[in-house]
Structure 1
Amino acid sequence: MNPDLDASALIAEDEPLLAAHLRHALQQAWPALRIVGVVANGAQALERTLALRPQIVFLDIRMPGLDGLEVARALAEDWPEADAAGFPLLVFVTAYDQHAVQAFELQAADYLLKPVQPARLAHCLDRLQGRLQAQSQQRLQPSTPQTPPPLSALLGQLEQLVRATEPAGAARPAAARLEVIAAQQGSITEMIPIEEVIYFEAADKYLRVITSRGEHLIRMSLRELITQIDDQRFWQIHRGVVVQARCIARAVRDEQGRTTLVLKDRPEILNVSRVFAPRFRGM
């Protein structure tokens, strides 16, 4: 490991003592590493990473609001296409036991187990420095075709980690499937059958429920909704949008590679983020 290699990093950890411990350990092991920020929740991690563009992001798996895997997904969605080669190296910080380690080893990311041990940290930093140096050499050779990180592939790998990092023996209770949505407006509660919903869109603490006849607001998060609907019928096309598959008329890909959806019974055009666009290839 080269302690003098210049690089920047952001730490996202909701426990102040653990954040301080990780920052101290990084400063001891890699003095030239610039810590450009320490944040305590997922929303801050997303905002500061997009604003500061650090080369490395240390993400706690479990944070308030967006967790570490959700932050990674959001980064892959929101990162500018023009700077795909600058997508940060991700290091997930987890309290999970050894059963999860192999999953992280196989992915396009690294990991640290809490409490962080010096030997594992040194191994992680060696890998990070190797990747940074390889990227630097590639940039210095303009004749070499640039190979930006496959952000859509990264998302697929992150989704696998969601399952692989569940504590051993843990089982998520099955949520009851939504059949009817109760949407209140003043003194009236509209009962909307789920099959009439064309798409859902996140709006702050609410969801917009869009049908062919209009729209309603319900107080529910998209995360909560997804556990209660059939993902074979309702497809997520963006961090904040889920659309009923049978309501899609066609998917259109433009010259820049952006994908949009034309709906059967609504005039609006829906944007598909790049991490979900592979679903529509071949349609």
Structure 2
Amino acid sequence: MRVLIVDDERPARARLRQLLAAQPGIAALAEARDGVEALEVAAAFRPDVVFLDIQMPEVNGLEAAAALAATLPAPAPLVVFVTAYDTYALDAFEACAVDYLLKPCDGNRLARTLERLQGRLRERANLAPAGLAQLLVGERGATRVVRTGDILWLETADNYVVLHTAAGAPLLRHTLAALLPQLGPGFMRCHRRAAVQLACVERIATNDKGDGSVLLHGGTQAPLSRQYRTALLAALAPPRTMPP
């Protein structure tokens, strides 16, 4: 599962990240410092699960959970609230939280939560269709079949998406926002106007401002913006287990 940790306290984020990295079944981890940043990171990272603190400035955890459910493509990420207070439990479960953890949580309690989350995700997977294996692109009275596995990166062009492959760059009449959920978790945004296939990424180069480019198979490059860099790096790198 892909997990986003949201907490305004850095030590709390680090502690939960350490516990999660030691558990099996975690594919990628990302962090956000508050509810506002959580919405930005989640749009690029597309988490399966969000561990949310409740008491945060500006946008609290309950508000952030509602915003995530309203703005992200379906299905919305599963939510686990992590807080030092037990007074929000009723509100949390009314917000359809999968679990409610009290700080400081331990590894055994977290493991039970992850088992519950994995069960929910398996149920979703059994109901959800797999990512598209191919796309059909109309070209001058003909139809081209483009295998999604051949797509290096995607780029918006007005009302079209450019499908960059080693054999060409056909135009698909679609929007990037609507197409990405259909392609599955193997594709991720790297820029407001671009997304890459994770399996094709070879190197990431950034400048002093945090922007840069993503180098793909065959020397192809896609633009990278600072907004999406952290989530992209988290998706590419498996979590490291911390030593005891």
- Normalised TM-score (structure 1): 0.42
Larger Rg belongs to:
1
Larger relative contact order, structure 1 or 2 (CA cutoff 8 Å, min sep 6): 2
